Structures are given as structure tokens and as C-alpha cells.
Structure 1
Amino acid sequence: MLKILDNNYYDLIISNTLVPSYDTGNNITFLDIRDSLLHVPVSTVDPCDLGRHPYNSFPFLYTPTSTTSLEKSGITTVQRNPFLALFGRGVLVAVVDTGIDYNHPAFKYNDGTTRILSIWDQTVQSGTVPDTFTFGSEYSREQINAALSSEDPLALVPTTDPIGHGTAIASVLAGTPNEAESFSGVVPQADIVVIKLKEAKQNLKNIFFVPENTLCYQESDIVLGIRYAFSVSERYKRPLVVCIALGSNQGGHDGRGTIDSYIDYLTLLPGIGVCVSAGNEGNRQRHYFNSTTEAPYYNDFELRVGSNDKMLSMEIWSYAPARLSVDISSPNRESTQPVFPTFNQCRRFSFIFNETVIYVNNFIFEEENGDQLILLRFNNLIPGIWYLRVQNIETEGFAFHSWLPSGDMISNETYFLNSNPDTTITSPGNGRHQLTVTAYNDTNNSILPESSRGYTRIGEIKPDLAAPGYQLTCAVRGGQYGTVTGTGAAAAHTAGIVAMVLEWAIVRGNYPRMTGNNVNRLLISGAVRSSGNVYPNNIWGYGQVDVNRLFERLASL
């Protein structure tokens, strides 16, 4: 079995400059221009393997960010204008997600042939592996059409979307119109590229104390999916928009991670746009923030643990020059005593009066961004109120953030008692140049309560824009139509708008050098802003996306 598919190997992210030191021929998988994966044997997962290997070398875990808005964003106005009539023709749109129901009418032309240009299914190993990649199966438009015209399509192209999330996101972005269902994707003439992610390795879930049955995906596979989409755009010499409707609460929320850096690079290239969801963590009480300015230089805070959450991880991020210790006490007040920062030590604590085991990594600096990281991992958690004390060894003012896992990695019964809704944008939404989209309800113009809020931990302005994300009509499995809600849906909606701009700029030759970042700034300049708000702000970003307003401004230049 390939090591990238084998649970007996960790997939560790390393810099490409280190590859010659480790390369033995089959233990390296190229990721992108900056990083590769090193496949390291593992017999039994020891939580303290994270300590022997750096925190930032383990791929983060991502969860989906979603569960009739065309008029509100000016889309239909632009499509009706005979001088614009932008439907995405000539542009590729890529969805890196849970797959696609390719048999759905939303992804077919009127003659029954497919609008999907290619699919890379990372979970199927029986087909042709894409060029320059090492696993999965690639299916071309010709193969999909042959399958659609056969009696048993899945016998020829055995890719499905049992989750349905990818199908919904792809349809919002580029679905074929269906008048009876009052449905249309934003760019129904764009060609679709689909990357179906394989689920995260169990050894990675074990390292981060994620329950075995939790649906999540690993960062490295998402990066490979984005690179695949980029390779398809290069092959066909077509502009590309990538939609990422997945998010992670891991990392420093500062846009400095592996996936953030790769997306940041791509969006500065001509003809490449990337839209990412802001996340749905705004009202889940999974973020805590404290700033202590006066003695005594410590802060006490509390974590409520629900009865269904037996294991979880939690991160505390500080800022230099503070050096923080952490003390964790159980509901019956047994304590670990203060754990002080080190370079790579991993400490295990067990209690006398309950079965909870805690692993503490207090890294004096995390290698990616240089800030202190305290990683706490709990197993056999007892429910109740857990108490944490963070103290600065330097006896001076300090500030820190703490985050719990995103999505369904924990239940809504586990949360911080004195939580903070800000700085809750999930990765990769904190990167500098990608377009980070939050969601609003277009029926009453209110932000969705669950929409994550900015800014980033280092003060960068995010989200960029707000888009409709409440009960958008979408394709669901089995040829049916339903609705999808969340920032993932809003990101798909906005990705379609980016595709319209790239069609106007590149396909029609109005501005052939247009980069994704250029598109983002144009959309920001054309956004609708309420007179009652100050912009940018950490809830709406620069305002509500409106592509018609953008083209009105371009026409006046």
C-alpha cells in the first residue's frame, strides 16, 4: 500500500529544502512549491509523538462549513445585461470537498452530457492516477459521459458523494438552472473540476484526540486537491476559481500555515482566484481571549465539558515576550500543578479520583510563527467544569487566545463559560490574499449568528466580504433539490462571482493579467456598505458582495 494511504505512516509536513535529507525514494510526497510530506513509520500512536515531531509538521484537521439569493448580490442583473451576460463560460471552477453526485441534473447540459471537466477521487484506487500525483483516480469528461450513457454509471466511474456537502457547494457555485425548482448556480456555464477528499488518517485523529467516527479531512490532502485543480487549469490554459468550504480551528489563526501560504501564492498569479469560508464558529463559544495588564499576572478561566465529549484537544496561543505556564484542575479540583514552557517536552498527567488523562505540550515557540503554543489533549474526560490558570512567568502584562476544535469534532455541550465570539475565523480564512467570505441571511439582511468573526490573531482584516448563505437552494443526492446554510454556501456563491469577473477580464480579454487578489480588491471596492456601520469591521468585513455595482464602477472608468 502507498504510504500516503497507509495508517502505519504519519504524513508529516516538511520544507522542500529538507527533502534531500530524508528522501529514500518512496517516503516523500510533493505537496506544493514550499512543502512536501514525509511518511514516517508508526507502530502504535503515542500522543507524545507530537513533541518528538514538531506541532506544525502534523496536518491540521478540517470539517465542512455548511449545512434564493441571486438577486441580492446583483448576479442576475449582470447576467441579463446583453453587454455582460457573464455565466462563467471559459472559466474552471473547482470544489475541494466531499465529492459530487455527477448523475444529478444540476451538473448536466440539456442533452444529458456532463458539465464536469474532471474528477480526482482520492478515495478510489482502481482508476488512473492523475499525472504528477501518486494516488486516487482521475475521471475525464469523456469517461463521465460514457458512464452517464450506460445502464450502470457507477460501474464505469465509481465516485459518489455520500455526505452531500460537496454536491451542495458545487451546485450553488455552478449548477445548471432548473426553473421548476427556482434554482440556478451562479455560473451555470463554467466547467467544473471536482476533488473528492479522502478522510483523515486515523493516526492523525489519534494524535489530536478526535473521536474515531468524526468526519474530517487533513490539510495535506486539501493542498494536493488545490494543486490538482491548478494543474488542470494549466493543462487547459483556462482561468480557475477554487472554493474551499472547509475549516479548522487548529493553528495560530494568523494565516501563516501550510495551506494559507500556498493559497496566498496562487491568488497572486494571473487567472487564479480562491474563495474560502470564514467558518461557523461565531456562536459556538469555542474561543476564549484574555488580556491581563495589571498584577497579579495570571488569568483563571473555565471550560464546561459535556457528557458526550470523552476526548478533545485545546490550544492556547500567546504573544512574545510573554512566557506562560498552565495549570489544569478537574471538576473535583485535582490539579496538574503549573506546567512551564520548554522546547519540545510532552508531559502526561493522570488523576487519582477520575480516569482523565491529560497530555500537555507547552512549546516556548511554535516553529511556523514563533509564538508560544500550549497544546492540551484530554482523554477519558469527565463532564463538568474544568478550571485553567494561565500565568506569565515574566511578571508583566500578557494576552492569549484559546480555541476548541471546530465543527462536529466536539458537541455543542462543550464550551468556554466566558467565551469570546471574535477571532473565530477558521483556517484557511486567515490568510492575507484569499477571499474570506462570511454569511448573511438575505431575507432580513442580518448576519448569520454562527458566522465566524474576525479579525485574525495578528490583526489582519478578515472576513473580506459577506454573501448570502442562508437556505440557498442546492442540489442534494438522488436528483433532488434542497437548501444549504452556512459560510461554506456563501463562499461558493462568491466563488461564482469571482468566476464572472475572470470571464470578463481574461476570457473576454478586458484585463488578461487579472489576479485573484485583483478580483478581491475590485469586489471589496464594489461592496454594499450600510450607513449604520463603520467599515471594515470584524463581522461584515468590507460589506456585502455586489457584482453589478462592481461592473457599474468599471464602466465608469
Structure 2
Amino acid sequence: MENKFISENYFDLLIPNVSVGTLNPNIVVTRVNNTYSIFHLPYEDINRCDFSGIGYNNIPKCFILESTFVLEATGVKRVQSNPNLALMGTGVLIGIIDSGINYLHPAFLFNDNTSRITSIWDQTVNPTDPPATDQEEFPYGTIYTKEDINRALEQPYPLEVVPTDDPIGHGTAIAGIAGGSADRANDFSGVAPLAEFVIVKLKQAKNITKDFLSIPSDVICYQETDVMMGAKYVEKVAQQLNRPLALCIALGSNQGSHDGLGALSSYLNDLSELPKTCVTISAGNQGNTRRHYSRMIRSVEEYIEVEFNVAVNDKKFFIEIWTEPILRISLDIISPSGERIENLTPRFGETTLYTFVFEPTKLCVKNVPTVPITGDQLIWIRFEDAQSGLWRFRIHNIDRANAEVNAWLPAGSTITNDTYFIQSDTYTTITTPGDVVSPITISSYDTLTGGISVFSSKGYTRVSEIKPDLVAPGTELTAPGSTNGYVNVSGTGAAAAVNTGIVALLFEWA
């Protein structure tokens, strides 16, 4: 039977558990937590433009990695060396949901060369005859126990026994910064060098998910559904071992309402309120990318104009425009060649598909009047075969009401740096799920200059919640690499890893 979690024929959707009873009883759903479940819809049944009745919140977001290829500044070394404290993270579990881990690296071994990793769920390894362990709760990928990993470490070719690795290196770096073993020869130590790890290696987002979201197929990103399943696994392991859990999420997305109310955001919020559990999330690296636009439209203004440049290589992408309160709008769209769409007035809930005459661009405009949970209005604009150059949107205020308009382009490598808003706003650039209330959201500062890192996203959230909560070193940190050496990494993901290690020390002390 085809595994729908990995099949490119089925689109993964998030649905509230209260809606499960309304589905056909023959449809199989996988419960994630007390609020959400995942079910799978044949992709051939979906219209990419109007969603075919799918709600915006049912669509999984795609998350990008938030670090790219120090302890004195945080005071950690004083805590480690103080004989009355000597905190190293002993007894604490660090959870990493990311691109995997190089479990062979000395940074993840005890002095006796046994592994500090309690288990790895590799979502990418799908053997023909998968082991029965947890297969009902986690119906794809392969789970490797501590015993499996230690047995592999005794073999001359360990990857033949436990075939999981991290060719990207991001997850390895994040885990190493948070809790890598001390290596005096290379002047390296993680923040909590005696903590243990539970690792989830995320599978890449399905090509059909990327296609639906107009993301190029070669972009590295991860589905919200898989991240949520990863959080479920980490939570379960921590409960089974009865260990305090410091969970690090070094991922982010510009999709969503930026108010902390998405499916993954809600789940991480709930986890943060459990005893002995703390979630740290990176704030994002969108501070200097020019991918956020913000403007108040006044009742006396007929329209506002949004200008943005599209790079030659960015042929498909989307823009999300969020308004509060709900507005009736009319759009004028002016292409780089001067071709105009005037008085485009999508009614509430309506989708409009427009093809230009003198250039290949296709536009899909969907007006969602009230997105579930947030209650706010979303105007979703999808570009296909986008013409490069300067585009202009005029948003006409039909109701002549005072309203706030926020727009976001996709984050990270989803598009190139040459696609951006002309009058961009560096504030309200915290990526989802870093905009959620209860977890700790971490931005980055540069220990060399003493200032906030130029790439670091800034608050507030779209609903004026104070985020980020703290800053941590996030520029040019030493971390374990995907081979047995060390690399330098920067980003709010690296800063979040520092904070995750500090949380592990606090848990040990408590």
C-alpha cells in the first residue's frame, strides 16, 4: 500500500481534530496532538489557484533553515567552571528538529566513545520492511535507538548499520552549539556538553507542496506537517525517559499571519506550557532582506501603492497581503512592461486568474475575508513565469476605512536577494513560528561589534506582541561540521542553539 506521507501523489493537509468526524470514515488521518491531525488529499483533485475548497490554515507552511555556514560572552564558562555549580546539562534532553545529525562526530560522543544521542527519527529513510517500533504513531521514516547507534559505532562502517547522516550540516551545527562535547584541541565546547540528544531528521517538503506554494523544486525547505510530527516524537521520547526537554527550532517561514496563531505555533505554545519543557525558536534572518512591506491606509486615501522588484531568476513565488480590519479592495496591477490590470475587484472568497497579453506572467489572486483562527483578511497573489523588473500594485480602499496593510515575500532561498519591496520595512520581520507567545524567541547579536546582527529579524509581531524575547551570540560561531571537522555558522538559528544550551543548564540546576 502506498505510504501517503512520502507519496508525491497525495497533498498533506492539517485539519482541526474537531473536523475529523466530518470526513469520510474511510479516510485515514494521523493524530498529531490534541488540536490537529494530518490527512492526505490526491493532488490531482486540487486546483492550485482557488484551493478547491481547502482553507488557508489547512495548507502546511514550508520552513527554511535559519543559520548559515563564544561562550565567554554569555557567561556560560563561569557557570561551568564554578565548583558550586559546574553545570554541564547532565540529565537534560536537548531536542533538535532539523536537517539531521552527523552522529559519528566526536561532539556527540561520551569519553568512552558511546553516543550521547538517545534516539534519531530519520524521516527520509524508508526501508522496504520498516521496523514495527512506533510505526503506527510515526508511519514513515525509521527510528534508531541508542542501542542501534552504539552498535553502529562499534562497526568499521557504521553508516551501513545506521544509515542516517546530515549532508546539509545545519542540524549538526545547531546540536553542536547547544550541547557538543568539549574538544580542547580545537578549542570547542557546546553550551551543555553533557546533555543528551533526541534528533529528528526532517524529510524535504514534497515536490507537490513546493509546486502548490510556487517554490522552486531545488529549494531546501520542510513541511509544517513533518515539523509537527517531529515535535510529537521529541515530546514522546522526553516523556518516556522522564527527562527535562530543551527543544530548539531553528526554522522559519514568511508564510502566515505573523501573529503566533498557526498550527505549528499553537503546538509549540502548548509544549512550552508543559512542566520541565522549554522551546526556543529562532527569530529569523529577514532583517535586511527587504521582504516585508507595511503601511497604514487612511480613510482619506483613495489607494496606496506597493512597488517591488522581481529578479530575472525568480519566475514563481507568492505574496501574502494581510489587512486588518477586513476591507473591500480593488487592485490595479502594473507590470514592468507597462501592461495594466485595472479595477481587479475579487469579491470575498473569490479567486481571479489573469494572463497578461504582452508577457508570459500569470497571476492568481485569492481574497480570503476571514482566515480561521486569526479572523483577519488575506489577499494571496501567486506569480507564475514572472516578468522581471519593477511591479506596482495599487490597493484601492473602496470602504474608505482606516486599515493596516502588511505584505510579505517568501523567506530565505525561496527567492533570490534581488526580489524585494522598494519601500520595505525592517520591523515585523520575525518569521513564523518565532512570533508565538510562550516559547523563547531569540535574535542574534554580533559579539565583535556588540550590536544586533544586521541579518537579525526585528519585532514586534503583527499584533504588537513583544518579540523577540532575548538576543544571543549568532555571528561566526564554531560548530561541528558534516564531516569530523568544525565550521563557522551565523544566523538566529545559531543564536537559538546557544539559548537552548543555556536552558539545559538551568534545567540541570533546577
TM-score (normalised: structure 1): 0.88
Contact 1:128–1:136, Cα closer than 8 Å, also in 2: no
Following superposition of structure 1 onto structure 2, how do residues 186-225 of structure 1 map, counting pairs within 5 Å?
186-225=191-230
Following superposition of structure 1 onto structure 2, how do residues 96-107 of structure 1 map, counting pairs within 5 Å?
96-107=97-108
Per-residue CA deviation, residues 402-437 of structure 1 (Å, 9 max, x unaligned), is: 000001000001000110000000011000101000
Contact 2:297–2:405, Cα closer than 8 Å, also in 1: no
Letter of the structure 2 residue corresponding to residue 262 of structure 1: Y
Contact 1:345–1:362, Cα closer than 8 Å, also in 2: yes
More displaced, 323-332 or 396-405? 323-332
Per-residue CA deviation, residues 142-196 of structure 1 (Å, 9 max, x unaligned), is: 1001111101111110101111100110000110111121110000100111100
Task: State the match for 2:389 in structure 1.
Answer: 384
Runs of 5+ in structure 2 lacking a partner? none
Q: Distance in 1 between matches of 2:147 and 2:229?
A: 23
Cα deviation for residue 399 of structure 1 reads 1.6
Letter of the structure 2 residue corresponding to residue 211 of structure 1: P
Letter of the structure 2 residue corresponding to residue 465 of structure 1: L
- Distance 1:473-1:23 versus aligned 2 partners, 3 A rule: farther
Q: Is 1:447 aligned to residue 452 of structure 2?
A: yes
Q: 1:128 aligns with which of 131, 137, 141?
A: 131
Cα deviation for residue 49 of structure 1 reads 4.9
Following superposition of structure 1 onto structure 2, how do residues 399-438 of structure 1 map, counting pairs within 5 Å?
399-438=404-443
Q: Distance in 1 between matches of 2:156 and 2:45?
A: 45
Task: State the match for 1:319 in structure 2.
Answer: 324
More displaced, 387-396 or 228-237? 387-396
RMSD: 1.3
Q: Distance in 2 between matches of 1:123 and 1:412?
A: 30
Cα deviation for residue 48 of structure 1 reads 2.3
Q: Distance in 2 between matches of 1:425 and 1:475?
A: 27
Cα deviation for residue 504 of structure 1 reads 1.3
Identity %: 43
Cα deviation for residue 31 of structure 1 reads 1.6
Q: Is 1:37 aligned to residue 42 of structure 2?
A: no
Q: Distance in 2 between matches of 1:171 and 1:338?
A: 54
Per-residue CA deviation, residues 13-62 of structure 1 (Å, 9 max, x unaligned), is: 11101112225455311122100012111227632252521111000010
Following superposition of structure 1 onto structure 2, how do residues 4-43 of structure 1 map, counting pairs within 5 Å?
4-22=5-23, 24=25, 27-43=28-44
Q: 1:235 aligns with which of 236, 240, 265?
A: 240
Q: Distance in 2 between matches of 1:136 and 1:243?
A: 21
Following superposition of structure 1 onto structure 2, how do residues 64-103 of structure 1 map, counting pairs within 5 Å?
64-67=65-68, 69-103=70-104
Q: Is 1:305 aligned to residue 306 of structure 2?
A: no
Q: Distance in 2 between matches of 1:270 and 1:325?
A: 49
Following superposition of structure 1 onto structure 2, how do residues 253-402 of structure 1 map, counting pairs within 5 Å?
253-402=258-407
Per-residue CA deviation, residues 221-240 of structure 1 (Å, 9 max, x unaligned), is: 11111110000000001110
Q: Distance in 2 between matches of 1:335 and 1:259?
A: 39
Secondary structure of the equivalent of 2:230? helix
Q: Distance in 2 between matches of 1:2 and 1:486?
A: 35
Q: Is 1:141 aligned to residue 142 of structure 2?
A: no
Q: Distance in 2 between matches of 1:270 and 1:436?
A: 19
Secondary structure of the equivalent of 1:495? helix
Letter of the structure 2 residue corresponding to residue 495 of structure 1: T
Contact 1:64–1:245, Cα closer than 8 Å, also in 2: yes
Per-residue CA deviation, residues 291-324 of structure 1 (Å, 9 max, x unaligned), is: 1225223101211001110111110000014333
Q: 2:501 aligns with which of 496, 499, 502?
A: 496
Letter of the structure 1 residue corresponding to residue 287 of structure 2: G
Following superposition of structure 1 onto structure 2, how do residues 446-525 of structure 1 map, counting pairs within 5 Å?
446-505=451-510
Letter of the structure 1 residue corresponding to residue 131 of structure 2: T
Q: Distance in 2 between matches of 1:236 and 1:26?
A: 34
TM-score (normalised: structure 2): 0.96
Contact 1:171–1:474, Cα closer than 8 Å, also in 2: yes
Q: Distance in 1 between matches of 2:329 and 2:404?
A: 10
Q: Distance in 2 between matches of 1:321 and 1:214?
A: 34
Q: Distance in 1 between matches of 2:19 and 2:299?
A: 44
More displaced, 167-176 or 388-397? 388-397
Q: Distance in 1 between matches of 2:393 and 2:101?
A: 44
Per-residue CA deviation, residues 459-485 of structure 1 (Å, 9 max, x unaligned), is: 000000000001111001210111110
Secondary structure of the equivalent of 1:447? coil
Letter of the structure 2 residue corresponding to residue 243 of structure 1: C
Contact 2:309–2:390, Cα closer than 8 Å, also in 1: yes
Letter of the structure 1 residue corresponding to residue 109 of structure 2: K
- Distance 1:310-1:436 versus aligned 2 partners, 3 A rule: same
More displaced, 365-374 or 338-347? 338-347
Contact 1:440–1:447, Cα closer than 8 Å, also in 2: yes
Q: Distance in 2 between matches of 1:194 and 1:151?
A: 23
